[in-house]
Chains A and B, each alone.
Chain A
Amino acid sequence: MKRYVGRRLLQLIPVFFGATFLIYAMVYALPGDPIAALGGDKGLPPAVRLAIEKEYHLDQPLIVQYLYYLKGIFTFDFGVTFSGRPVVEVMADAFPWTLKLALMAIVFESVFGIAFGVFAGLRRGGVFDSTVLVLSLLLIAVPVFVIGFLLQFIIGVKLGWLPVTVDRSMSFKSMLMPAIVLGAVSFAYILRLTRTEVARNATADYVRTATAKGLSRPQVVTRHILRNSLIPVITFIGADLGALMGGAIVTEGIFNIPGVGGTMYKAIFQGEAATVVSFTTILVLVYIFTSLIVDLLYAALDPRIRYE
């Protein structure tokens, strides 16, 4: 087991170089000219343009730019944004918001998704099952911006139950609504995955055996059915953490959260390679660690799965 974990951590190295170069190349390949955009409708005097290009090494070929970036990374210098702020600072500002938001969303979608899924799966075709089917259809068909807008307008503005936008202290109260909106679609996925797996396992032989052994219904459900149903669900949740961190652009906009999604989105449109690559590098790490944890959980949930 230790060797397995060690080997997985070693794999970080090629993934790091592969991912950063790939993303650097993509930013390089963006069709727009980032410096021209800085000038707005008016444009910049040619000499000013050239000076800025030189400052950011934008006059150099891709591989040279990338090497400059790598050189910086090894001295913990992640470069600067076009506004002159060190990217490290920008990351330190954005990640706490996003981490908190994503964790709250994950907790929300997992707790409710799994609970609803279990009830729906145990009573397939029942009233509850049909109700949650309609609910998940709604969440899939109605885009996030609509759900977010409606919740914000009704609960925040009209009823005043929760803050309209987040506050600087990141209070639980002000992050609750964004977390629910962010987790809504994933909630639908988790619900449906859990429901199917529970329905499938509820008819399995070992469940009959367990029931036959005299275990109570709740014991059978949690120890046997749920445990055996969780593998696809935690696979989904594991990958979702990264997705929620990097892809919360719309939710962040609606609730005015200065987080990772919006910062990266803006950096992409401005062609700021240093920002995009640095943020993505962190996200790659998140994906790799969550997939390692998920793999270890497989072994815990199903003792027959072994790693050597």
Chain B
Amino acid sequence: MRKNLFAILVAAGALVFALSLAGCSSTEGGSTSSSAATSTDGDGVVFAYNTEPQTNLIPSMVNEVGGGNILELIFEGLTRYDVDGTTQLAIAESITTADDGKTWNVKIKEGKKFSDGSPLTVQSFVDAWNWGANPENGALSGEFFMAIEGYPEVDDEGNLVGEFDGLTGLEVVSDTEFNITLAESDPEFDKQLGYSAFYPLPTGSLDSEDALEAQGTQPVSNGPYMLKSWDHNVQVELVPNPEYDGDIPAQNDGVTFMMYTDDSAAYNDLLAGNLDVLDSIPADAMSTFMDDLGDRAVNQDGAVWQAFTIPYYLEHFADDEEGRLRRQAISMAFDRQQICDTIFQGTRTPATDFVAAVIPGHSDSIEGNEVLQYNPEKAKELWAQANAISDWGNATFKLAYNADASAHKEWVEAVVNQIGQTLEISAEPEAYAQFSELRNDATNGTMTSALRSGWQADYPSAYNFMGPLYRANAGANDSRYDNPEFESVLLEARSQQDEAARTEGYNKAQAILMEDLPAIPLWGQNALGGYSEHVDNVVVNWKTVPAYQDIVKK
């Protein structure tokens, strides 16, 4: 009996092996190559890198690039952004304000349709926005609707005060016209309207859980493309939307987003010709990708700006003379240019201000920006002055980063090494295992060290790089900066109708930041990427995302 058992088990093992071989060869029969880009039925389809969306594809639910990349191709808002970030009217016929941005009148073009042929009216916008603004729906991009009058109030614990019955600031005039009243005047509000949270949704798609689920996984949409299939964690197929009659029609037969968890794998697929477009370069290929790809490499100014923040509640860094001296000393104690050149192989550009390079309002001549230059003597001098106020002693300067995301470790090490060596103090990196853990300490104000921070524009405006970060009550004000003078200069600037006057005002606000350094600007992240020999006309837009609809297949 025992002999039999042994034989059976061996046979079972052999069977499993045989089956796995057979299973493989049978599936292999059809298409022999994994190379999607070279398969014959995919002529004219562009294969592009993406990451699996973290949420369903309801516009106000999405707050990350994986879903955002798809939304931006399948939807179109009242306005849209050109490649260079200029705002253009899209669904809207006109967007006007009569009172410096407190109330807005929007008229939309007639005859616009969704991909299923149903008509697009102003109700499509109003319903979608009201849904996103209702906190009970848990829309992750819901904060964009806070600008509109009637955003629900909450008590200290976050519970709703009363019932939420739609934003009172939205008033439908006709099928093609509505008015928006804002909570606070914002002459730049029209610029925000191209952001994905403000996209319209077809009638009925929000009425029930099932309808919502269907819209979220098989969206009915109004952009240049529509979603054909979504194979989770593998790929999303987009095909041109026949109902689309806007200004940026698809120049190819479709875009298939291939899902990756590791951009290094995607890079190797690009080199092997299995992938057409990659809008990211893995850390291990930073030094070689320009040579590997030649003129198919992309390396230009980007929309991501990086910094680190020293909270005002840390000892020695309070909102006083000592804190200011120490922030300035630290900012001058490391060499941004050298770190960009060696650690990032020239794929980042040293910051000259608080705004990303491609955003209107970015400037390299802000008053006082020499504080961003490497100047070890000056740094030592300022540090000594601060020590005269209150001695630093044997304390350690720590800079926190989250280890779960791409390669922060290297630059953090380089920055603290230089700070420590210049100021002759002990300086160390502080690793957090999870991003959520770091955010927890940052939002609760319980950091015990400086922390890395970064910001990417949602819409192309300098205000977007300052308001949400340094206004006293802003959600992302990690340093707990509170400067009424700065705030009034910033709001004054935003209320300017004239573009030049507005920029000048923003520059003044930046000059205040340059002296206080509530965040210490590091560098801008270049838009990096590459494309295969099978495609042409790959242009990267202001958001550092390729304009997929313009790509042509060779």
> Is there direct touching of A and B in the complex, by C-beta distance under 8 Å?
yes
On whether the beta carbons of A167 and B265 are closer than 8 Å, the reply is no
Asked whether any CB of chain B lies closer than 8 Å to the CB of A9, the reply is no
Asked whether any CB of chain A lies closer than 8 Å to the CB of B437, the reply is yes
Given contacts A48-B140, A163-B33, A169-B28, contact A157 B135 (CB under 8 A): no
On whether the beta carbons of B5 and A296 are closer than 8 Å, the reply is yes
Which residues on the A side are within 8 Å of B21 (C-beta)?
Answer: 172
On whether the beta carbons of A165 and B135 are closer than 8 Å, the reply is no
Which residues on the B side are within 8 Å of A39 (C-beta)?
Answer: 63, 140, 439
Q: In the complex, which of the residues B235, B404, B443 contacts A269, with contact meaning CB atoms closer than 8 Å?
A: B404
The minimal Cβ–Cβ distance linking A205 to chain B, given in whole angstroms, is 22
Among B266-274, B323-331, B489-497, the stretch that binds chain A is B266-274
On whether the beta carbons of A41 and B5 are closer than 8 Å, the reply is no
Q: Which of B207-262 contact A (CB under 8 A)?
A: 213, 216, 231-235, 259-262
On whether the beta carbons of B135 and A50 are closer than 8 Å, the reply is yes
Q: In the complex, which of the residues B9, B24, B138, B143 contacts A297, with contact meaning CB atoms closer than 8 Å?
A: B9
The minimal Cβ–Cβ distance linking B142 to chain A, given in whole angstroms, is 5
- Which range holds the interface residue count of chain B? 35 or more
Q: Which of A111-158 contact B (CB under 8 A)?
A: 149, 152-153, 156-157
A30–B434 alpha-carbon span in the complex (Å)? 9
Given contacts A41-B476, A269-B404, A299-B2, contact A83 B56 (CB under 8 A): yes
Asked whether any CB of chain A lies closer than 8 Å to the CB of B54, the reply is yes
The minimal Cβ–Cβ distance linking B286 to chain A, given in whole angstroms, is 15
On whether the beta carbons of B34 and A165 are closer than 8 Å, the reply is yes
Q: In the complex, which of the residues A33, A49, A166 contacts B440, with contact meaning CB atoms closer than 8 Å?
A: A33
Among A11-19, A99-107, A182-190, A282-290, the stretch that binds chain B is A99-107
Which residues on the B side are within 8 Å of A52 (C-beta)?
Answer: 138
Which residues on the B side are within 8 Å of A43 (C-beta)?
Answer: 143, 439, 443, 475-476
On whether the beta carbons of A169 and B140 are closer than 8 Å, the reply is no
Which residues on the B side are within 8 Å of A167 (C-beta)?
Answer: 31, 33-34, 36
Which residues on the B side are within 8 Å of A83 (C-beta)?
Answer: 53-56
On whether the beta carbons of B158 and A47 are closer than 8 Å, the reply is yes
- Interface size of A by CB at 8 A reads 73
The minimal Cβ–Cβ distance linking B455 to chain A, given in whole angstroms, is 7
Q: In the complex, which of the residues B146, B262, B434, B436 contacts A253, with contact meaning CB atoms closer than 8 Å?
A: B262
Which residues on the A side are within 8 Å of B216 (C-beta)?
Answer: 84
Asked whether any CB of chain B lies closer than 8 Å to the CB of A175, the reply is yes
Which residues on the B side are within 8 Å of A175 (C-beta)?
Answer: 24
Q: In the complex, which of the residues B9, B35, B440 contacts A32, with contact meaning CB atoms closer than 8 Å?
A: B440
Given contacts A47-B158, A51-B135, A296-B5, contact A32 B437 (CB under 8 A): yes
The minimal Cβ–Cβ distance linking A261 to chain B, given in whole angstroms, is 10
The minimal Cβ–Cβ distance linking A91 to chain B, given in whole angstroms, is 12
The minimal Cβ–Cβ distance linking A106 to chain B, given in whole angstroms, is 9
Asked whether any CB of chain A lies closer than 8 Å to the CB of B111, the reply is no
A51–B140 alpha-carbon span in the complex (Å)? 11
On whether the beta carbons of B272 and A42 are closer than 8 Å, the reply is no
Which residues on the B side are within 8 Å of A50 (C-beta)?
Answer: 135, 154, 157-159
Asked whether any CB of chain A lies closer than 8 Å to the CB of B541, the reply is no
On whether the beta carbons of A157 and B136 are closer than 8 Å, the reply is no
Given contacts A32-B435, A171-B24, A171-B34, contact A300 B139 (CB under 8 A): no
On whether the beta carbons of B5 and A153 are closer than 8 Å, the reply is no
A100–B269 alpha-carbon span in the complex (Å)? 22
Asked whether any CB of chain A lies closer than 8 Å to the CB of B160, the reply is yes
Asked whether any CB of chain B lies closer than 8 Å to the CB of A301, the reply is yes
A171-199, CB under 8 A of B: which get 1 and which 0? 11111000000000000000000000000
Q: Which of A213-228 contact B (CB under 8 A)?
A: none
Given contacts A33-B436, A165-B265, contact A48 B142 (CB under 8 A): yes
Which residues on the B side are within 8 Å of A300 (C-beta)?
Answer: 2-3, 5-6, 9
The minimal Cβ–Cβ distance linking A31 to chain B, given in whole angstroms, is 5
On whether the beta carbons of A36 and B439 are closer than 8 Å, the reply is yes
Given contacts A55-B138, A103-B20, contact A46 B440 (CB under 8 A): no
Asked whether any CB of chain B lies closer than 8 Å to the CB of A270, the reply is yes
Question: Can you list 14 pairs linking A and B with CB atoms under 8 Å apart?
Answer: A33-B440, A41-B439, A42-B63, A44-B143, A45-B135, A45-B143, A50-B157, A82-B55, A156-B268, A157-B268, A255-B265, A269-B433, A271-B434, A299-B2
Q: Chain B interface (Cβ within 8 Å of chain A)? A: 2-3, 5-6, 9, 16-17, 20-21, 23-25, 27-28, 30-31, 33-36, 53-56, 63-64, 135-140, 142-143, 146, 152, 154, 157-160, 213, 216, 231-235, 259-262, 264-266, 268-269, 271-272, 274, 284, 404, 433-440, 443, 453-455, 468, 475-476
Q: Sorted from nearest, which 4 A-B pairs have the closest CB atoms?
A: A172-B24, A32-B436, A47-B135, A37-B436
Q: Chain A interface (Cβ within 8 Å of chain B)? A: 30-34, 36-52, 55, 82-85, 89-90, 93-94, 100, 103-104, 107, 149, 152-153, 156-157, 160, 163-175, 252-256, 258, 262-263, 266, 269-271, 293, 296-297, 299-301, 303
Known: A42-B63, A44-B140, A94-B233. 19 other contacts (CB 8 A): A32-B438, A32-B440, A33-B439, A44-B143, A45-B142, A45-B146, A46-B154, A47-B152, A48-B138, A51-B137, A51-B138, A157-B272, A167-B34, A168-B235, A172-B21, A253-B262, A254-B264, A262-B261, A271-B434
